[in-house]
């Protein structure tokens, strides 16, 4: 057991030690987003050892420990007494992982931006060629890793005026139970949350004729137009099918909208035409497009930075 725990810690350290570079005009070190680091995180979170990361299993516990070690090794502190926001689902133990990066502005640091994704998956799926483990690479190790990489970047650069919560949710596959628990806890605590972004299945690229990503509930707030303004291009677009399928209410953003009445959306690059392995045993690490993931994260960094650092709140709710 000790050897397994040490191996998880070592993998997390390898994943967190991505290369960095000095900016041309200063001695500041800017962390680089690399395929190597993303792949290492992905290969662990989707390994058969974790058995599909179902809530309440040993595999889910291993994933939680991995994420905790990643946050700790990158200087991201626990938001609560520990990294875990624990809850019960009948006889199952669930736990979100929550880290915080304090903002550098004395006033704006009291406002929070939530970045997250769900790290649980369905565990087992329909057997294909003897394989029963639904490893959940795109769904949603990809979004989990994106949130972790954003956390590492801002923890190292300390370039965020508002504070950031890095939140990885359990029990999404059981009905958004983890995010619902955390949203209510933050509401009860009176936390001033500005906006929430949920990264849901960002491991594969869309067609080159489409915006890189789309946002659920696109018309419900000004978040997409604000992000695109700071990105300098249309990174986040409108996707008609997302509206028709009501994806806004079907992912971990929705409990935050419901409880806190804030702009809360899911951003995805999976559009039902570009990946065949949703809730499938072949949703594995070797099917992810790591160049695309790096590109997506790099394009989102200035978008997030601009949105979280402007003095006034530009992201507002709209009537549909």
Residue 94 confidence (pLDDT)? 98
State whether residue 234 is helix, strand or coil: coil
User: What stretch of H or E contains 22?
Assistant: strand 20-22
pLDDT per residue over 116-138, tens digit each? 999 999 999 999 999 999 999 99
DSSP labels, 270-309: --SSS-S-TTSTT--GGGS-HHHHHHHHHHHHHHHHHHHH
- Per-residue model confidence (pLDDT) at position 319: 84
- Read off the pLDDT of residues 213-265 as tens digits, 9 standing for 90 and up: 999 999 999 999 999 999 999 999 999 999 999 999 999 999 999 999 999 99
- CB neighbours (10 Å) of residue 237? 15
Residue 2 has pLDDT above 50, yes or no: no
As a whole number, mean pLDDT of residues 299-308 equals 98
- Mean pLDDT score across all residues of the chain: 93
Q: pLDDT tens across 56-73, in order?
A: 999 999 999 999 999 999
Residue 26: pLDDT over 50: no
Residue 19 pLDDT: 57
CB 26 within 8 A of CB 86: no
Alpha helices in the chain (DSSP H): 2-16, 35-45, 58-73, 142-157, 177-189, 223-231, 240-244, 254-260, 290-309
For the chain, which residues make up each domain, given as ranges?
2-309
**pLDDT the model gives residue 30:** 84
Give the CA angle between residues 137, 139, 119 to the nearest 5°. 90
Higher-scoring residue by pLDDT: 12, 88: 88
pTM of the model: 0.93
Mean pLDDT on 93-100: 98
Q: CATH code for 2-309?
A: 3.40.630.10
> Alpha-carbon distance 266 to 201, whole Å?
9
Mean pLDDT of 198-205: 98
More confident residue, 11 or 34: 34
């Amino acid at each position: 057991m000790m050897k397994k725990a040490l191996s998880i810690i070592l993998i997390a350290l390898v994943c967190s030690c991505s290369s960095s570079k000095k900016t041309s005009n200063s001695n500041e070190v800017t962390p680089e987003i690399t395929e190597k680091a993303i792949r290492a995180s992905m290969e662990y979170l989707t390994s058969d050892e974790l058995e599909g990361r179902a809530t309440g299993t040993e595999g889910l516990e291993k994933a939680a420990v991995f994420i905790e070690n990643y946050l700790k090794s990158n200087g991201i502190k626990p938001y609560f007494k520990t990294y875990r926001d624990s809850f019960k689902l009948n006889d199952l133990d669930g736990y979100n992982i929550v880290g915080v990066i304090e903002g550098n502005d004395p006033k704006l640091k009291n406002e929070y931006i939530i970045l997250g994704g769900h790290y649980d998956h369905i565990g087992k799926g329909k057997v294909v060629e003897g394989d029963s483990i639904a490893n959940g690479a795109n769904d949603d190790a990809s979004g989990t890793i994106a949130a972790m990489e954003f956390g590492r970047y801002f923890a190292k650069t300390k370039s965020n005026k508002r504070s950031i919560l890095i939140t990885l949710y359990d029990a999404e596959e059981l009905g958004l139970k983890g995010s619902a628990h955390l949203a209510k806890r933050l509401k009860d605590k009176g936390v001033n949350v500005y906006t929430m972004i949920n990264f849901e299945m960002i491991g594969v690229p869309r067609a080159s004729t489409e915006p890189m990503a789309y946002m659920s509930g696109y018309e419900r707030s000004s978040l997409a137009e604000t992000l695109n303004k700071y990105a300098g291009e249309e990174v986040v677009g409108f996707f008609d099918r997302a509206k028709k399928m009501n994806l806004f209410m079907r992912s971990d953003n929705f409990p935050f909208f419901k409880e806190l009445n804030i702009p809360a959306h899911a951003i995805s690059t999976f559009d039902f035409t570009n990946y065949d392995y949703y809730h499938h045993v072949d949703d594995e690490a070797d099917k992810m497009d790591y160049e695309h993931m790096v590109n997506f994260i790099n394009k989102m960094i200035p978008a997030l930075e601009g949105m979280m650092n402007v003095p006034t709140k530009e992201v507002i709710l709209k009537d549909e």
